[in-house]
Structure 1
């Protein structure tokens, strides 16, 4: 009899089905732990040479496995204890869990709005040069990953990059069929690994699947290697996968990257898209015309898919006609996106896309449309503005540029702005080149100064930005020592009120002897800015003090949520990491840090500093993730309510981020949170939600007649409650074995 998904998620750690783990593709199977070192890092774990590690031994070793920095033993081997009422015990132990997972760069993170659900995320370290972890630490990480996927139904999402799949293919493929994943994201190379193809059909809870090809890996495979990969095996695995996805009827979101599925499976792919009863979102990237036609045919006849995304449209005549039919006949698709067209469109070719105009005129369902500007000539775009003006349901149109800023693009932007439909239309990214003539066009929100733009053009445009309230993102390169550009940037940044993202890179110095004045201006402006949330800085051959000054600016600015910092040339990340790690646990507003460059420090010391940085931002983003569950809650859940209370009382600056996360108006989030927390205000409710009592507070009378807790009137309790947090009462941790026994006793 086939086990249900919930049964598989709670399988016993003593399950003998898996006996050994393989750390690398093509390598011999090895015992799970070769050796565990004591706190001094010298003694090896006991082992029997040549003997595979059984689940019983795996569980025993996980019980004594220590983190790589604090040498503390956590509860790593117990099965999932999550219920509808309370999250799994590991949610309260994420720091200890992530310390064990850190050598593998696969941390656990809380999923926003999904009460108590966790994601196992592959961290991209390809651009960050780090010392290699010790072998036994990697084995501990592999064993814990296997345990999490196989025995914890709270792990609902998994993101794998190629490097991680290559290292941990065997434990991952063994654990996946037993997992309760709802989302699987694969950033793998070509061909798609056979093991993962075989495991996906067994994921009976899967709702979202993303498969993409790493472009860097793609370039490393020659045609001969692709031919030798065994196309028949890949074809059969793919066909089986599509058949199982159709039969399961659960998958809601599917993304397929370039060359993930072989062209020979296009008929099966089309059939899946036509008949899938659950799929509502589909994104597709491929170079094959035949595969593209198959995809479009499937979408045309599907009556469930509401979101369609095609990254690279071939421009094939048959594909153009199929898109016209989808826009004209399909009444379900509400969002249709084509990012770019791979072929150059000649002036005489515009007529081919005329059918899209007629189809849009007939369309009654589309709410969002993204298309490249090249498909139509100016007269066709004017016709489109008339259609758009008459479509109340079509609320958002994105016109995508190729960065050439040709006269045709300029004329299209002017025509759209003059037509009065610009409030519905966004042109997104404006590539500044020889001039910034379109800077005042309100359809642009992103300003990008590419390489080669003259410095006088940059300085002039930056000064003009002071009068532009529509630009929310700015990207530019500043040659070291250029005071004109840096002063113009500093003046804009310190007064900007709508700029949300800033990307700055420093190029080569214009003179050999450069003072610090130009850089000081930029750093000081960052400290004074009150709008930037995403800061991306890349330095080339600058001093350690220059790198440290960025950390100081970020520490003074509580608005910054994401920090990306990179170095190139002879520079290292040492000074930046050292400075950022000091006091990072006291920062409660930074939600993410991305680093790229070289870190020249001893392994353990550098790794600990990085862990502290990543864990602090994980803690902060986890607070938001937990609080994000409150708008949909019919009852007050302690875990999410406690997170919401902490934000409101201690970190109110995160309320705007919470509003964005739960997709409500910023002006409304404070009132919504206050009303929800009011349900925890009374004495009885506070004590019930925190688990002190089941229903209400009743105290035994004292012999001396003195006042008891239940004698407090509402006003007195309200004064006490002001100083109490829901987290002030320690949550009783019920061990999984006790929980299972209690559940069995009541059934």
Structure 2
């Protein structure tokens, strides 16, 4: 046997074991995931459970790997583990390749990619030319790949031909994401020719550079692809800048007669009058599109020169007739996302009424609106008779809008950003109103250190004590001058300790003492609601105190799903157990959600029992089943009831195949099957599925 030794815990790991996963049993790797991750964390990666029984190597968000860049031993060990997983584990289905692990081991890793028995998803973010060429050469041979994501890969002509060959020949690839991949000139033509021959991709995400290059062929090639394609269901296009007008006519025009595509997303585009006309014309004629998202797009009322910066903002009132006509003729659209800052107050009523009366439209995401008109927009939405159809992104609080928060019941997020005026006066108005605003679920408060001290901290404390509706809080203190620990932070943390509604908490700029760090740890350990914590204190030693206090008992926490804090070398020893608990809890939520959806594995049932009170389980079920919160809660309850009875429990736990039987005792004493339902339910309070050991 060959072993690797963990540099943190000193434990030995036999990484050479082969895959032991089966339909209802986890691979032996799952038991050693903390040890595997102690090595993968050194290169900014983490091994996680993607779905029940399936492993994925993902990029760690906000990972600080610069400290380890010189540690070639760790990089070599990570590459060794990765190659073994790829070559010998069919439970290893997804991998993110970053340049830390790929740079000096690209040939070995590419060879392992070709041997992989289970890989279906591949993400590559590479800025190194030689390594990228090895990767591109392997691409055409990945015959079982279903999802491919590329970011900032420096392709040359040869490697582009390899990518094009994969797109043209694959019979398995269904998802291609290249939103961050920039192509220029003839490069785009090569890729688009391969894409034009593809007959498998159903989800496609591209950067607009692929379609707006110096070659006039690109738009025509892609338009032909859209007209003829019979598999593409979702298309996302990302712009370079919302200040540059791109010609969308070839793309959108090709959708006039395409009834296959069901979702179109445009991200950060500048849409002038000409763009709006082609979009509304498409909506009038298209009979297949169900979801249309204009995410972070800006509307301009006049026509602008193509591929040039937009000089000024024009009124968009002239666009209203086109949108009203399109909505009147379209009868397939179910979800729409757009900003309405361009809609003048006098046109609000007719525009929102048209959205409310649309025969098929079920959801309208209003991203941006003129904050001065938000009250009128809320009134108009209520007057439509279908307020449940509309979702307003947020209300940015100002002196003009502070007092209208109670009236804007359609807004669930309130944001008070850095303010040049009198912050104290503004917060003095806002904070007393919030406890009575049950519709406000998310609050963002940004202020200077001098504002936070004194009266404002007391107002925040009172709000946190009184509210039962708040789910997300982001508090940021900007301190230009040196801050010191005072009673303001203590009052805030005491109020947070009493709060029982917050699920996501972000604190930045607070000056926290060691005792206050202890208060925050106690809150996290006792809370039945708080599952995401982001802590960036003014004094970085507070992060060290917090991690050192939390780490010893963190394994008993089954709520924590995400945590970030200031990174320092002193955190390493205590940080690993916390990150592993976060990984474990996310894995348990995934298993529990799949159990609710019908996956009847024992380890999924055990996870459902453990995570039944974690709200993220509700969110995950909503996502998997496409249902609302009430329906998700009902499904979770029903799934837990499904193994309440003795026979159901024993069958799911693997004790019996069908039902429980007991041989009659000579002494006539009662046996397990003689228990009445009440007695069995009493036992079940202390007996969980996870308590039953697996057969050897």
Between the aligned partners of 1:290 and 1:670, the Cα distance in structure 2 is: 45
Q: Is the 8 A contact 1:334 1:366 kept in 2?
A: yes
Q: 1:107 aligns to what SS in structure 2?
A: strand
Q: Is the 8 A contact 2:300 2:314 kept in 1?
A: no
RMSD, aligned CA: 3.8
- Choose the corresponding residue for 1:727, options 680, 683, 690: 690
293 and 593 in structure 1: CA distance in 2 versus 1, 3 angstrom threshold? farther
Between the aligned partners of 2:137 and 2:226, the Cα distance in structure 1 is: 20
- Choose the corresponding residue for 1:478, options 447, 456, 481: 447
| Equivalent residue runs for 1:192-203 within 5 Å | 193-200=132-139, 202-203=141-142
Q: Does 1:464 align with 2:433?
A: yes
| Equivalent residue runs for 1:149-298 within 5 Å | 149-160=86-97, 166=103, 169-179=106-116, 180-185=118-123, 193-200=132-139, 202-211=141-150, 232=157, 236=161, 239-244=164-169, 249-257=199-207, 259=209, 263=213, 264=215, 265-287=218-240, 292-298=248-254
Aligned to 2:34: 95
Q: Is the 8 A contact 1:435 1:457 kept in 2?
A: no
Give the drift of 1:335: 1.2
- Choose the corresponding residue for 1:617, options 582, 606, 610: 582
Q: Does 1:143 align with 2:80?
A: yes
Q: Is the 8 A contact 1:331 1:365 kept in 2?
A: yes
- Choose the corresponding residue for 1:311, options 259, 267, 270: 267
Give the drift of 1:201: 5.0
Give the drift of 1:643: 1.5
714 and 571 in structure 1: CA distance in 2 versus 1, 3 angstrom threshold? closer
- Choose the corresponding residue for 2:352, options 371, 378, 385: 385
554 and 155 in structure 1: CA distance in 2 versus 1, 3 angstrom threshold? same
Moved more, 275-284 or 664-673: 664-673
Q: Is the 8 A contact 1:103 1:133 kept in 2?
A: no
Q: Is the 8 A contact 1:64 1:74 kept in 2?
A: yes
Give the drift of 1:232: 4.5
Q: 2:268 aligns to what SS in structure 1?
A: strand
Between the aligned partners of 2:273 and 2:166, the Cα distance in structure 1 is: 30
Aligned to 2:401: 436
Q: Does 1:551 align with 2:521?
A: yes
Between the aligned partners of 1:670 and 1:415, the Cα distance in structure 2 is: 32
Give the drift of 1:186: 5.1
Between the aligned partners of 1:190 and 1:519, the Cα distance in structure 2 is: 46
Give the drift of 1:162: 6.1
Aligned to 1:525: 495
Q: TM-score, length-normalised on structure 1? A: 0.75
| Equivalent residue runs for 1:125-144 within 5 Å | 125=62, 130=67, 134-144=71-81
708 and 626 in structure 1: CA distance in 2 versus 1, 3 angstrom threshold? same
Q: Does 1:367 align with 2:334?
A: yes
Between the aligned partners of 2:477 and 2:65, the Cα distance in structure 1 is: 19
| Equivalent residue runs for 1:659-674 within 5 Å | 660=622, 662=624, 664=627, 672-673=635-636
Q: 1:319 aligns to what SS in structure 2?
A: helix
Q: Is the 8 A contact 2:15 2:81 kept in 1?
A: yes
Q: Is the 8 A contact 2:489 2:510 kept in 1?
A: no
Between the aligned partners of 2:516 and 2:401, the Cα distance in structure 1 is: 30
682 and 522 in structure 1: CA distance in 2 versus 1, 3 angstrom threshold? closer
Give the drift of 1:551: 2.9
Give the drift of 1:354: 3.7
Between the aligned partners of 1:271 and 1:707, the Cα distance in structure 2 is: 79
- Could you give the per-residue CA deviations for residues 181-233 of structure 1, whole angstroms, max 9, x where no partner exists? 444455666999555555555554544445556xxxxxxxxxxxx9xx67755
Moved more, 89-98 or 242-251: 242-251
Between the aligned partners of 2:646 and 2:520, the Cα distance in structure 1 is: 47
Q: 2:414 aligns to what SS in structure 1?
A: strand
Moved more, 100-109 or 330-339: 100-109
Q: 1:141 aligns to what SS in structure 2?
A: helix
Between the aligned partners of 1:137 and 1:123, the Cα distance in structure 2 is: 16
466 and 142 in structure 1: CA distance in 2 versus 1, 3 angstrom threshold? same
Q: 1:96 aligns to what SS in structure 2?
A: helix
Q: 1:153 aligns to what SS in structure 2?
A: coil
- Choose the corresponding residue for 2:15, options 52, 55, 76: 76
Moved more, 685-694 or 551-560: 685-694
Q: Is the 8 A contact 1:369 1:398 kept in 2?
A: yes
- Choose the corresponding residue for 1:644, options 568, 587, 608: 608
Between the aligned partners of 2:291 and 2:102, the Cα distance in structure 1 is: 33
Between the aligned partners of 1:526 and 1:141, the Cα distance in structure 2 is: 40
Q: TM-score, length-normalised on structure 2? A: 0.80
Q: 1:628 aligns to what SS in structure 2?
A: helix
Q: Is the 8 A contact 1:286 1:292 kept in 2?
A: no
Q: Is the 8 A contact 2:485 2:513 kept in 1?
A: no
Aligned to 1:560: 530
Give the drift of 1:367: 1.3
- Could you give the per-residue CA deviations for residues 566-614 of structure 1, whole angstroms, max 9, x where no partner exists? 245776732232223231112111111123x34142xxxx323111011
Between the aligned partners of 1:556 and 1:713, the Cα distance in structure 2 is: 36
Give the drift of 1:333: 1.6
Gaps of 5+ in 1: 1-59, 214-225, 734-747
Q: 2:45 aligns to what SS in structure 1?
A: coil
Aligned to 1:36: none
106 and 302 in structure 1: CA distance in 2 versus 1, 3 angstrom threshold? farther
Aligned to 1:320: 276
Between the aligned partners of 2:23 and 2:483, the Cα distance in structure 1 is: 65
348 and 493 in structure 1: CA distance in 2 versus 1, 3 angstrom threshold? closer
Between the aligned partners of 1:196 and 1:317, the Cα distance in structure 2 is: 43
